[in-house]
């Protein structure tokens, strides 16, 4: 597995050689780069960024960005979301990114990853399939891979539900961005995540193109609360996860995410310890 990271960089327009070299020297082979407005990104500026990354011997592990919700009930706004994702795919091609990150979206007005009771309606699933088919067609034309992520709070709340949408779209340009913490929804699974890890590997292994890496811990509350924590300080079974990812595709990116910059080195150290214990060599 190649080691990537979210963070440690300024906004994409401000990334210079010194910033890219700092990330490379910190022991990361690639970075995830976020584009706030993919439809407005200047191709010349993206080309400049590609040259900077090349000069630093740093890869674009993943292209990410904001776009309107792919399941929006307003057809005009949903079309804007598809267009934004297609623009992000073109940016990914310019950067030679290994994958383009895709979020399924939500009906919640609060955010694309927040719960809403309407998310599970059949018509929402069908809207997602339609949006992803359009996006996958554009990605195939660009020679790019879309990496779709799920979450227990989203309409793609289980490994089987994720497989259902991948099979419905039925395009090699649409694959899976695994993030096991996202599929932990019970105390039992949080304390012993092997069931979820094995289900993700068995149902989605052949579709898996990238991994987001973080950890989790159950908190002492009278309602279920599972917080994200630094890798190595929680209950995720990284020995099992890393062995599974190595078997699926040793060249895929594992990307540390959702941490402030000052905690990223701790997460990397925890990941490297787990890899050493599992006998897995991470490409850094």
Of 260, 190, 263, nearest in space to 225 by CA: 190
Q: Angle at the Cα of 252 (from 54 to 104), degrees rounded to 5?
A: 100
The string of pLDDT tens digits covering residues 39-75 is 999 999 999 999 999 999 999 999 999 999 999 999 9
CA distances from 221 to 114, 166, 171, 188, 268 (A): 20, 36, 43, 15, 29
Quick one: pLDDT at residue 283? 87
CB-CB contact of 254 with 282 (8 Å): yes
pLDDT at 59: 98
CA-based radius of gyration for the chain:
18
pLDDT, tens only, 154-165? 999 999 999 999
Degrees, nearest 5: CA angle 225-212-89: 125
Give me the pLDDT at residue 168, please.
98
Supply the pLDDT for residue 259: 96
Domains, the chain: 14-212 (3.20.20.150)
Per-residue pLDDT for 284 more than 90? no
Residue 258's nearest CA partner among 197, 209, 210, 213 is 213
Q: Hey, what are 47's tokens? A: 């080309």
pLDDT value at residue 174: 98
* Count of beta carbons in the 10 Å neighbourhood of residue 72: 20
Contact 161, 152 (CB under 8 A): no
Helix/strand/coil (H/E/C) assignment for every residue in the chain = CEEEEECCCCCHHHCCHHHHHHHHHCCCCEEEEEECCHHHCCHHHHHHHHHHHHHCCCEEEEEEECCCCCCCCCHHHHHHHHHHHHHHHHHHHHHCCCEEEECCCCCCCCCCCCCCHHHHCHHHHHHHHHHHHHHHHHHHHHCCCEEECCCCCCCCCCHHHHHHHHHHHCCCCEEEEECHHHHCCCHHHHHCCHHHHHHHHHHHHHHEEEEEECEEEECCCCCCCEEEECCCCCCCCHHHHHHHHHHHCCCCEEEECCCCHHHHHHHHHHHHHHHHHHCCCCEC
Cβ atoms of residues 211 and 177 within 8 Å: yes
Could you tell me which of 156, 152, 143 has the C-alpha nearest to residue 102? Answer: 156
pLDDT in tens, 98-126: 999 999 999 999 999 999 999 999 999 99
Give me the mean pLDDT over the 92-103 stretch.
Answer: 98
Report, as an integer, the average pLDDT of 87-99. Answer: 98
Question: Strand 59-65 and strand 30-35: pairing?
Answer: parallel
Q: How confident is the model at residue 245 (pLDDT cuts 50, 70, 90)?
A: very high
């Amino acid at each position: 597995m190649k080691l990537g990271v979210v963070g440690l960089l300024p906004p994409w327009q401000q990334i210079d050689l010194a910033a890219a070299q700092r990330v490379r020297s910190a022991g990361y082979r690639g970075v995830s780069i976020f584009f706030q407005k993919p439809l407005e990104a200047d191709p010349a500026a993206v080309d400049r960024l590609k040259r900077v990354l090349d000069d630093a011997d740093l890869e674009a592990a993943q292209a990410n960005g904001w776009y309107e919700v792919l399941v929006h009930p307003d057809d005009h706004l949903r079309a804007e979301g598809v267009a934004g994702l297609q623009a992000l795919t073109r940016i990914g091609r310019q950067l030679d990114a290994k994958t383009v990150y895709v979020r399924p979206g939500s009906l919640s007005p609060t955010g694309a990853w927040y719960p809403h009771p309407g998310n599970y309606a059949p018509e929402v699933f069908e809207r997602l399939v339609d949006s992803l088919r359009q996006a996958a067609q554009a990605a195939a034309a660009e020679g790019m891979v879309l990496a779709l992520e799920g979450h227990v709070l989203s309409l793609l709340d289980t490994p089987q539900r994720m497989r259902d949408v991948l099979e419905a779209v039925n395009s090699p340009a649409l694959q899976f961005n695994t993030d096991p913490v996202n599929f932990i929804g019970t105390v039992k699974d949080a304390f012993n995540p092997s069931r979820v890890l094995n289900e993700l590997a068995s149902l989605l292994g052949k579709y898996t193109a990238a991994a987001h890496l973080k950890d989790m811990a159950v908190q002492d509350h009278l309602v279920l609360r599972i917080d994200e924590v630094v890798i190595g300080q929680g209950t995720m079974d990284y020995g099992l996860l890393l062995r599974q990812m190595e078997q699926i595709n040793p060249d895929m990116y594992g990307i540390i995410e959702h941490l402030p910059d000052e905690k990223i080195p701790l997460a990397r150290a925890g990941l490297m310890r787990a890899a050493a214990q599992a006998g897995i060599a991470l490409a850094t």
